[in-house]
Structure 1
Amino acid sequence: MDILTICILVSMVSVTNGRFPLSSEGQIRNFLFNQANYSSRVRPVLDSSRSVEVWISMQLYSMLELNEREESISTASWLSLRWRDERFTWDPEDFGGTDLILVSGDEVWTPLLYLSNSLETNNQGILSSPRSKILVTSSGTMQLGGALIQTTQCPVNVVYFPFDSQACPFHFLPENQIEEHITLYADSNLFTLFVESNQWDLLKVTATNATYYDLPDYVDNRPVSNYSAVSFCITLKRDPSYYIQTLIIPSTLLCALAFVTFLAPPDSGERISLGVSMVLGLTVFQLLVSETLPVASKDTPLLGEYLTENFCMACLAVPFSLFNINIAYGDSPFSSMKRPWLRRAFLEILPAMLFVTTYKDRLREEIVNEIEVKPSTVTNSDEESDVGDSDVKKVTKVKRNQIEPTQDNIPQKELKSVDKKNIQARTVALVMDRLILIIFSAVFLLIGITLILEFRRNDAVFDDACVS
């Protein structure tokens, strides 16, 4: 090689070095990674007896879905890990004051974490992808963060549905690292970016440090091991307005309509059909509600019990209506009223208390109707008469005034023309209607008050799920 070629090569190298000078960050990387004692497979402590302290921070962006039937929750969050690598330090003054650099996840040691209650098929090594970027400071503090979309188990308590609150935990554990090697701590920066859901409101957030004891370890001469863990827990409160409009109010009105049938006359042809229609309506409604109510393996929702009780009461209204119709037509032995005290109670006392026409008043009304029919029959006979309508009205008015309130003063001739048994049966049937209506209304009101009191006992917090 001649002297000219050598000069050209030297000039090219000098020009290249001058055009692409090594930055301070590159100098730091060369200084750190060229150390003979650094390895990404070794825990970042100078004393092997010490544990690596890893701080975990979690910020919840939104709750994607809470599936009560499968007892699972899907969330989108930002998970951040912070620890210190004692071997990865430098003096900023030696590198132009640079205090922060960015490295890849496969170049340095990173903690491997997993969610113990995750439902994902692959939840090992959260945020440990080689493409993850880690911020490193001159003191050796490392910050690893990334988006986390996970579906985890969430024990659902549906006793107070739809006025319930759910506590969903997130249990983070190190992967095959005992507490003597890695200790996890919860950071205080939690859930500051939460976006409110249409159905759920965020009540509170808790973070606890825990230790899992007596977990099996398959290493020889170590029968048991302890693992450090961090548990985050979000408590969500359901907005009950939708379920009030679609479940509680319609079922209550349907049940109330079933009771209204007792206000219809016993001989009304639409009474049974109205009661059966209410039962069919509640049946269809129950089928629709069964798809909305959460499935509970241990506890039954109070709302489900309420709907079942309403359905049973609506069903009971139909046989009671049939029983009263049977009384009204005189086919039931109950309408005979052979005992004097029973006759007095159902024909005089109870009708006056329940605002039902008494037996004597109803009997008097029937007799008056018979008297009013006779003059009209006379005037319409084949024999021509000079008596006008005004005279008929006068005669009717006089005979009506002659009837006294007591049965003793009623002419026996008129009493024989009236079916007293049917009048008595009708009076008893109306009394029974009012009694059943009052009893059903009282029971229905008692069920409603009990339900309200039970809902008020809901403390809206189930922290046991976050501790387990």
Structure 2
Amino acid sequence: MNLTRKLTDPMMCLTVLQICGFLMLGCSLQGIFASPEQIKLIEDRFFNDRYNKLVRPVINESQKISISFELYLSQINDMDEKFQILTTTVWITQRWHDDYVTWNASEYNGLEKLRVPASMLWLPDTVLYNTAKEDNENFMLDVQTNIIINASGGIDWSALVIMKTFCPVNIFYFPFDTQQCEMKFGSWQYDARFIDYYEGPADASNYQHNGEWDTEGITVVRNPGIYSCCPGREYPDVTFTITIRRKPLFYIFNLIIPCFLISGMSMLGFILPCESGEKVSLGITVLLSLTVFLLVVAETMPATSDVIPLIGRYYIFTIVLVATSTTMTVLVLNFHHRHQPMPRWMRVVYFRFLARVLFVDLPAFIKAKEDCRNCIITNANNIKEEEVKIIKASPERKKVTNDHTKKNMTFKDKVLLDILKHVQKISQRHESKDKHTKVNIEWRVVAKITDRFFLIIYIICAILMNVSITVQALMHV
């Protein structure tokens, strides 16, 4: 009955399982090729002395264990900007002292070091505070590695670990950005009275090539770790900060240059003749293409309202310019298809001012009309009052003269007079048609001048926008 109760006790079961594990390890060591000194040392320290890996390995309970934490960056596997997660492969080494695994090397034929599985020793409960994994247990327990034990009790535990950490991404200068990602390590249960951490070496000299990121350096700092949840206690941690810089060549060739070329195509809308009927279609097509590229950029960026990246601003400004150019094109087409007489102020603005400034060659009849108008205005004040009276002859006098002339005309003269009237009507009709054609030509000239004026404005705005974005990017680089 007592034996049954002892076996049902959880602590008793754990001790029995531990002893069984050591016995199985001892049996396995007998079957492998190893020196007698190593076999004897393992039996003395882990079986005969009944080493307990659940107990903190200090002789004096008030004594704390100082752990040196080292990190060597091997590779950057992935940087997920959308979810702000950095995946890296790193070498991690922890060094501390174990008071229960010391030995005299002379008693074991000068054996100074011993290598045993990590599962045989007490291990610090070091965790990664800013991990992105669901499992927040000791990140090195899943790695089956050996531990190096020195005769003086020094422990060296090294392992190659793939880590996922939360890394807040600053996307303002994307794709010319530099990110600083932290890895914060510390004990989960023991405060500074029991386990203390201090900075070890941090190096990236063995960093493997990555097509998207370059490593600029690693810094390490020890933090006291004071939290509001546990007043009066310190939970020290070691924080490694990895600085990485993005290689922008991929994004330049796949996002920036296509956007620049597509936005340049929108200028063709001002050069395309209005008769083609494709001016608005070209602007809308360019606008849709830029929208697709903007969606591609948005998919790679985290959903944040804190900052808008430079490339996002570039696309937005370009879309605004293209949309404005399409609106301008609609106004130009409206001018091109007008038929009513042109207002006086518009004729002055376009034909006397803008045409000269923009070097637009006017048709000959417009030039002659403007010159004739100037002559009329100049000579209007020189007309005599007598000439005005003659021009404004009395309608009654004209009617009497015409009636007297018709009475004295022959039949032949009357026929000729009728023919003359019909010729005058045809002439007036052709004159009216010619006048209407000239009005249409004048509006087309106005549309051409407006097109050139808007083209110059578009080019100036595009240059200012590109220079502004480029200067901001180069200031960061």
TM-score, with length taken from structure 1: 0.75
- Aligned partner (choices 363, 366, 370) of residue 363 of structure 1: 366
- Aligned partner (choices 344, 348, 351) of residue 347 of structure 1: 351
Matched with 2:174 is 161
Q: Residues 94 and 156 of structure 2 are in contact (CA less than 8 Å); yes or no, is this contact kept in structure 1?
A: yes
Matched with 2:321 is 313
- Aligned partner (choices 434, 445, 463) of residue 445 of structure 1: 463
Matched, 1:66 2:96: no
Relative distance call for 1:350 and 1:133 in structure 2 (3 A) is: same
Distance 2:90 2:34 in 1: 40
- Aligned partner (choices 216, 241, 264) of residue 233 of structure 1: 241
Matched with 1:250 is 258
Give the C-alpha shift of residue 246 in structure 1.
1.5
Distance 1:240 1:106 in 2: 45
- Paired residue secondary structure (1:110): coil
Write the letter of the residue equivalent to 2:461: V
Matched, 1:435 2:461: no
Write the letter of the residue equivalent to 2:149: V
Write the letter of the residue equivalent to 2:452: R
- Paired residue secondary structure (1:226): coil
The superposition leaves residues 229-280 of structure 1 with CA deviations (integer Å, 9 ceiling, x where unpaired) of 0112222211111111111111122122112211233444232232233223
Q: How does 1:21-420 map to 2 (within 5 A)?
A: 23-33=36-46, 39-128=52-141, 132-217=145-230, 223-330=231-338, 336-339=342-345, 343-358=347-362, 361=364, 363=366, 406-407=371-372, 417-418=434-435, 419-420=437-438
Q: Residues 92 and 138 of structure 1 are in contact (CA less than 8 Å); yes or no, is this contact kept in structure 2?
A: yes
Distance 2:180 2:34 in 1: 56
- Rg (Cα) greater in structure: 2
Distance 1:415 1:121 in 2: 88
Write the letter of the residue equivalent to 2:471: L
Write the letter of the residue equivalent to 2:344: K
Matched with 1:8 is none
Distance 2:295 2:163 in 1: 33
The superposition leaves residues 350-406 of structure 1 with CA deviations (integer Å, 9 ceiling, x where unpaired) of 2122121136x46369x9xxxxxxxxxxxxxxxxxxxxxxxxxxxxxxxxxxxxx94
Q: Residues 173 and 309 of structure 2 are in contact (CA less than 8 Å); yes or no, is this contact kept in structure 1?
A: yes
Q: Residues 204 and 217 of structure 2 are in contact (CA less than 8 Å); yes or no, is this contact kept in structure 1?
A: no
- Paired residue secondary structure (1:121): coil
Give the C-alpha shift of residue 215 in structure 1.
4.6
Q: Residues 294 and 312 of structure 2 are in contact (CA less than 8 Å); yes or no, is this contact kept in structure 1?
A: no
Write the letter of the residue equivalent to 2:209: E
Distance 2:41 2:110 in 1: 11
Distance 1:46 1:214 in 2: 29
Distance 2:207 2:110 in 1: 37
Structure with greater helix share of residues: 2
Q: Residues 163 and 238 of structure 1 are in contact (CA less than 8 Å); yes or no, is this contact kept in structure 2?
A: yes
Relative distance call for 1:250 and 1:293 in structure 2 (3 A) is: farther
163-172 or 127-136, larger mean C-alpha shift:
127-136
Give the C-alpha shift of residue 40 in structure 1.
2.9
- Paired residue secondary structure (1:454): helix
Distance 1:255 1:177 in 2: 60
45-54 or 252-261, larger mean C-alpha shift:
45-54
Distance 1:292 1:169 in 2: 21
Q: Residues 83 and 302 of structure 2 are in contact (CA less than 8 Å); yes or no, is this contact kept in structure 1?
A: no
- Paired residue secondary structure (2:168): coil
- Paired residue secondary structure (1:136): strand
Give the C-alpha shift of residue 43 in structure 1.
2.6
Distance 1:409 1:156 in 2: 68
Distance 1:29 1:409 in 2: 116
RMSD: 3.2
Write the letter of the residue equivalent to 2:458: F
Write the letter of the residue equivalent to 2:299: E
- Paired residue secondary structure (1:441): helix
Q: Residues 357 and 427 of structure 1 are in contact (CA less than 8 Å); yes or no, is this contact kept in structure 2?
A: no
- Paired residue secondary structure (1:170): strand
Q: Residues 347 and 424 of structure 1 are in contact (CA less than 8 Å); yes or no, is this contact kept in structure 2?
A: no
Distance 1:75 1:408 in 2: 81
Give the C-alpha shift of residue 137 in structure 1.
0.8
Distance 1:35 1:68 in 2: 54
267-276 or 202-211, larger mean C-alpha shift:
267-276
Relative distance call for 1:328 and 1:123 in structure 2 (3 A) is: same
Relative distance call for 1:302 and 1:350 in structure 2 (3 A) is: same
Matched with 2:5 is none
